[in-house]
Amino acid sequence: MRWLPTAAPRRHLLRSTHAAEYSAVLLDASWLCPSAPACFGALVGLCFSGVSAQSFLHCFTLTSSAFNLQVATPGGKSIDFVDVNESNMRWIQDFRMKSYANPAKLESIDGARYHALLIPNCPGAMTDLANSGYLAKILQHFSTENKPICAIGHGVAALCCATNEDKSWVFQGYSLTGPSVYELVRQPNFASLSIIVEDFVKDSGATFSASSPDAVHVVLDRHLVTGQNENSTLPAVQNLLILCNVR
């Protein structure tokens, strides 16, 4: 999944040179634009298979008061939510009835039109997005322009597609997190996973850190926010909102 904002906020760039790690951020995102809830236009980009219902719910509800949101998936296909339960089923059903729930085609997205990118926890990202040339172009643009990017849990795998012409990774030299091997090994399909984010990050010249399995762990490095797992969704998105506000 992914999101991006469209109006032009002030262009002050965050110039931190060291990664900052957060276990929790106690902020109410509504302060971002108290008088103008739709001050940013945002694209929500998603893999269409295996999107965590709970992570998407938190991402959408936290940002909808500050952004105009547009969903996008490869081919514009409908979202396949996973882990739907009694606590989020009604919300997902209501969401599917909204006009903005119809995804745009990822292939038609112009990254220059947006000012932030959010990829919620989606196991399908390892197959739908990790090798996407279309997403790679968007990420290259965002990296060049220092636009805020947030990826959570399995959604961090989507960042792996972003390589430069010399085959180096766009996020080489960054610090980030994502699902640890200790978390992934619990999955029944571990042996057949197409990508292990922790290994990819280390092999590509970036720094990977993780906390205990299922613990809340968020890493902020320059304009990139990453969350280790689904439980890290709320603080990760709150950090994205902060980055958008300081630009």
Residue 5 lies in a domain: no
Tokens describing residue 10: 């002030």
Tokens describing residue 128: 């739908």
The count of domains in the chain is 1
Here the CATH number for the domain that contains residue 95 is 3.40.50.880
Is the CB of residue 223 less than 8 Å from the CB of residue 148? yes
Residue 11 lies in a domain: no
Residue 6 lies in a domain: no
Residue 69 has pLDDT above 70, yes or no: yes
Is the CB of residue 51 less than 8 Å from the CB of residue 119? no
Instruction: Give the Cα-Cα-Cα angle 79, 42, 66 (nearest 5 degrees).
Output: 115
Residue 240 lies in a domain: yes
Q: CA-to-CA distance for 162 and 151, rounded, in angstroms?
A: 13
Say what percent of the chain tops pLDDT 90. Answer: 55
Residue 8 lies in a domain: no
| Nearest Cα residue to 6 out of 38, 40, 39, 37 | 40
User: Cα separations (Å) of 41 from 9, 68, 75, 146?
Assistant: 10, 4, 21, 17
Q: Tell me the pLDDT tens digit for each residue of 71-80.
A: 888 988 888 8
Instruction: Give the Cα-Cα-Cα angle 93, 129, 208 (nearest 5 degrees).
Output: 110
Q: Tell me the pLDDT tens digit for each residue of 2-49.
A: 444 444 333 333 333 334 332 222 222 222 233 233 334 444 556 656
Residue 227 lies in a domain: yes
Q: Which helix (H) or strand (E) holds 184?
A: helix 181-184
pLDDT at 173 (0 to 100): 98
Residue 13 lies in a domain: no
Residue 174 lies in a domain: yes
Phi first, then psi: give them for residue 241, nearest 5 degrees.
Answer: -60, -40
Domain of 39?
Answer: 20-246
Place of tokens 């012409």: 165
Rounded to the nearest 10°, the torsion over CA 246, 53, 79, 128 is: 70
Residue 219 has pLDDT above 90, yes or no: yes
Rounded to the nearest 10°, the torsion over CA 61, 103, 48, 183 is: -20
Q: Tell me the pLDDT tens digit for each residue of 131-162.
A: 999 999 999 999 999 999 999 999 999 999 99
